[in-house]
Chain A
Amino acid sequence: MDVMDKLEILTASAKYDVACTSSGSRRKGEGPGMGSGAGMGICHSFSSDGRCISLLKVLMTNGCTFDCAYCVNRKSNPIRRAAFTPQELADITMQFYRRNYIEGLFLSSGIMRNADYTTEQLIAALELLRYEYHFTGYIHVKAIPGADEKLLSRLGLLADRMSVNIELPSQDSLAKLAPDKSKTSILKPMGVIRERIHENRADLVKYNHTPKFAPAGQSTQMIVGATPDSDHQIMMLTQGLYKNYNLRRVFFSAYTPVVEDSLLPSLDTKPPLLREHRLYQADWLLRFYGFRAEELLNEQNPNFHPLLDPKSSWAIHNREQFPVEINSAPYEMLLRVPGIGVRSAQRIVRARRAGALDFQALKKLGVVLKRARFFITCRGKLLDGIKVGEHTLIRTLMSGGETALPQSQPEQLSLFDDQQFSALRVGGSSWLQG
């Protein structure tokens, strides 16, 4: 099998992993070899599905002893199998990096023999890349659940970011679909990584030349839509992961059926992209907008509204907190206004030092007045001629023109559209019932 075949097979087997970020690590380029960490992350290309290509995302091997129902690489799935040698992998990485095709490597693997052996193979490949080829670019590596702590620690010293996939949003779902994995086997390495990062920070302060342990932190991902877990469960879990494990990112992956299984949605199910999109919007609200998951969803409303983004939805349910006076509201409150983002909120705070702002000025600061106008006053006045009836409000805030998402093309916008409806149904309880 030549390298091209291997590359295609091992890429196709890795493509369902969503995380492809290269941010969070400012690695100074020095010494022999090549490479640096850009800090803000760089997407070098975008694939035909519009997703970022930042890293060479491949598996060491797609042979696997596990049999997780949702996974394309499950051992009972008859697909072509391949494995890279460390040399092949290092060579492709360096040659792609040199041409500025990629920001670095994202390495994961199927389970060969057992978790320890697999981790040793990953270490061998990364050591070759770091110490022989002197690669100082970005490396994201998957920690294999169940591997020895000492091996995990060695792996972390070679990588910028580590991740353990939480796979599914609940213990039940995990037991059903990934019988070889358990909540503890997933959370344990996460805990180990958290401790190592913590110790390492302290060591870095004490000693000058301590090697860095996963300086870009750790992340995780879970599959959405393969099991009946609600958005509420997912958001609470996400919030817990940020808080308890100091994760940098939690990624969501709309379930794309790849294998037939009686436990899974049927093969012709469309990936619930809109739901994934809403979860990311909410994730943003948690990380940058000061929202808590409990504010966005609860037991009675366990799922996001398909036609309203989570922030607008929150604002409609909390109308007593509005309107907000642009010229005096605190930054935290500006952030909660639909149509005002982090950047425009910062600009407002700065610009109002120079003088009172009116609606005309807000436009120049990047505020989306179409949404914001219902929730703000400038110098005590609402925008002329505005009526804030619930009906107009919801209609205007509905994300009609979301052309970037295939599911929200205009003809699919009717409330009881089959496709959209089924996409949400996959999540178990439909929002209409809630």
Chain B
Amino acid sequence: MTRTTSLAYQYDGTFDGWLCCVFESYLWKEMPIAIHSAEDPQGLLLEAKWIETDPEKAARVRRSMPEKMGPEATEWIRLGFLTCVADKELLLLRFLRLGYTHGPTVMDRLADDTVHALGKAIQQLRRESHDYLAFLRFSVYGSVMAAIIEPRNEVLSQIAEHFCERYRNETFLIYDQTHRQAIVHRPGRYEIIPLDEWAPPEPDEAEEKYRRLWKGFYNAVGIRERRNHKLRASHMPKRYWRLLPEMQVGWRAGAHQGNASHEYAADLKLRSVKPRSRLRSTPGPEQY
């Protein structure tokens, strides 16, 4: 029998570290009351057992996941770890335990609270990743390109392939300001690296010219008689606007200007994550 303890786990915040929490939970047949990464300030409030990251233990859990619960559920664990859902570590542990009990059919239990909660978190990760395929904007500085994003979930690994294929012959950087990571791409290879800070250079004349042209196009393409700002905001949530040259007032696109960005990122983190209100079933011409 698995006991629910009043004990919290604390780990180093890595995926391997979390796998070791799983190992610990199975070893002692216990269910922790919470799992926090070392950086999480909440961890201080509870009595916590420190879980050391041990590559061998992690590897054992890693191997057993696809065997016990199949590839689809294993993929959910991987994706779930990238999400920003509250207490994701504990949610993932509960999901994993469910998966080890029921096997691959855990994926059918869509009405189960744990499966449902994780599914929703992953759906949001996917939606946000897709949003950044759309709303990310590069600035061109001579022969290199750079973009800044402020995602709630860790989307970099989800969007990397798309951009590396599309801009295969370019050298570019995509900086995730929220999680302090960046994709660095040179023709033929890319990596995701931690990056504490990165400030974009001032745009040059050519860059400003094309931002201006883009704004000109944007303003010309809207149809006045059909103006509908609500519909626009529901398709393109306002939190993305400050990254978009076309949504800046005045001709100078302020996407990468000023340094209030860190405060803004912190602000984003604190706000609770609400699911984007879906438009009524409006199968408009524009959506697909």
Q: Are A96 and B286 in contact (CB under 8 A)?
A: no
Least distance between B184 CB and chain A CB atoms (Å) = 17
Chain B residues whose CB sits within 8 angstroms of the CB of A48 once the complex forms: 222, 227-229, 232
> How far is A32 from B236 in the complex, measured between Cα atoms in Å?
33
| Interface presence of B225 (CB below 8 A) | yes
Does B284 lie at the interface of the complex (its beta carbon under 8 Å from any beta carbon of A)? yes
CB nearest neighbor in A for B112: A354
Judging by beta carbons under 8 Å apart, are A51 and B166 in contact? no
B258 within 8 A of A: no
Given A34-B169, A50-B231, A353-B105, is A16 in contact with B223 using a C-beta cutoff of 8 Å? yes
Question: Is there a chain A Cβ closer than 8 Å to B218's Cβ?
Answer: yes
Give Cα distance in the complex from A99 to B169, angstroms: 14
Q: 0/1 per residue, A41-76, Cβ < 8 Å to B?
A: 111111111111110111000000000000000000
B286–A20 touching, CB < 8 Å: yes
Distance between Cα atoms of A403 and B232 in the complex (Å): 12
Q: B134 touching A43 by the CB < 8 A rule?
A: yes
Docked CA distance A347–B107 (Å): 10
Provide the residues of chain A in CB contact with B145, threshold 8 Å: 98-99
> Of A99, A256, A347, A403, which one neighbours B223 at CB under 8 angstroms?
A256
Residues of B within 8 A of A270 (CB): 225
Name the residue of chain A whose CB is nearest to the CB of B214: A101
Chain A residues 357 to 398 lying within 8 A of chain B, measured CB to CB, are: 357, 360-361, 364-365
Determine whether the beta carbon of B167 is less than 8 Å from that of A98: yes
Whether A45 touches B218, Cβ cut-off 8 Å, given contacts A33-B169, A100-B138, is yes
| CB of A382 to closest CB in B, whole Å | 19
A contact residues around B170 at 8 Å (CB): 34, 98
Is there an interface contact between B286 and A43, defined as CB atoms closer than 8 Å? yes
A353 to B106, CA, bound (A): 11
Q: What residues of B have a CB within 8 angstroms of the CB of A249 in the complex?
A: 285
- Chain B 206-219 interface mask (CB, 8 Å, partner A; 1/0): 00001011101111
Cα(A281)–Cα(B169), bound, Å = 42
For the complex, is A116 an interface residue (Cβ under 8 Å from B)?
no
Q: Are A44 and B135 in contact (CB under 8 A)?
A: yes
Measured between beta carbons, the chain A residues less than 8 angstroms from B133 are: 38, 42
Select from chain A the residue with minimum beta-carbon distance to B278. Answer: A366
Contact status B244-A45, CB under 8 Å: yes
Q: Are A49 and B227 in contact (CB under 8 A)?
A: yes
Q: Please indicate the chain B residues that have their CB under 8 angstroms from the CB of A364 in the complex.
A: 110-111, 116
Q: Flag the segment in A4-12, A147-155, A297-305, A413-421 that touches B.
A: A4-12
| B165 interface contact, C-beta 8 A | yes
- Place the interface of chain A in its size category: 35 or more
> Count the B residues whose beta carbon is within 8 Å of the partner chain — how many?
63
Q: Which residues of B contact A273 (CB under 8 A)?
A: 226
Q: Which residues A12-33 have CB closer than 8 A to chain B?
A: 12, 14-16, 18-21, 23, 28-30, 32-33
CA distance A11 to B214 in the complex (A): 11
Q: Could you tell me the dominant secondary structure of chain A's interface residues?
A: loop
User: Given B108, B228, B281, which contacts A353 in the complex, CB threshold below 8 Å?
Assistant: B108
CB distance from B287 to the nearest CB of A (A): 7
Residue B250 lies at the interface, judged by CB distance under 8 Å to chain A = no
Residue A3, interface by CB 8 Å: yes
Residue of A100, A256, A404 touching B136 (CB-CB under 8 A): A100
Q: A195 at the A/B interface (Cβ < 8 Å)?
A: no
Cβ A7 vs Cβ B220 within 8 A: yes
Interfacial chain A residues near B57, Cβ < 8 Å? none
Given A32-B169, A50-B235, does the pair A96, B214 have CB atoms closer than 8 Å?
Answer: yes
Does B234 count as interface, using CB distance less than 8 angstroms? yes
- Distance in angstroms from A242 CB to nearest chain B CB is 15
Q: Is the CB of A99 within 8 A of B214?
A: yes
* CB contact between B147 and one of A96, A100, A350 (< 8 Å): that residue: A100
Question: For B271, what are the chain A residues with a Cβ–Cβ distance below 8 Å?
Answer: none
Decide if B283 is an interface residue (CB 8 Å cutoff). yes
- Does A329 touch B at the CB level, under 8 Å? no
Whether, in the assembled complex, A228 has its beta carbon less than 8 Å from a beta carbon of chain B, the answer is no
Q: Is B232 within 8 A of A46, CB to CB? A: yes
Contact call B280/A98, Cβ cutoff below 8 A: no
Contact B168 A30, beta carbon cutoff 8 Å: yes
A29 near B168: Cβ-Cβ < 8 Å: yes
The answer to whether the Cβ of A181 comes within 8 Å of any Cβ in the partner chain is: no
- Which residues of chain B are within 8 angstroms of A18 by Cβ–Cβ distance? 285
Known contacts A51-B226, A98-B145, A361-B111; is-contact A284 B235 (Cβ 8 Å): no
Across-interface contacts of A280 in B (CB, < 8 A): 282-285
Residues from chain A with a CB closer than 8 A to the CB of B280 are 399, 401-402, 404
B279 at the interface (CB under 8 A from A): yes
Query: Which of these, A11, A30, A98, A309, contacts B221 with CB under 8 Å?
Result: A11
Given A38-B162, A95-B210, A99-B210: A49 touches B232 (CB 8 Å cut-off): yes
Complex Cα gap A286–B109 (Å): 31
Chain A minimum-CB-distance residue to B240: A45
List the 7 closest pairs (A to B, CB-CB), nearest first: A50-B231, A52-B286, A361-B111, A47-B222, A11-B220, A48-B222, A49-B226
- Between-chain CB contacts (< 8 Å), 17 pairs: A7-B220, A15-B220, A21-B285, A34-B167, A42-B133, A42-B134, A52-B284, A53-B218, A99-B139, A99-B145, A100-B147, A101-B137, A249-B285, A256-B226, A354-B112, A361-B111, A404-B231
Q: 13 additional contacts, CB 8 Å, given A43-B286, A357-B111?
A: A15-B221, A19-B285, A23-B288, A34-B167, A42-B133, A49-B232, A100-B136, A101-B246, A280-B282, A283-B283, A284-B281, A351-B108, A406-B226
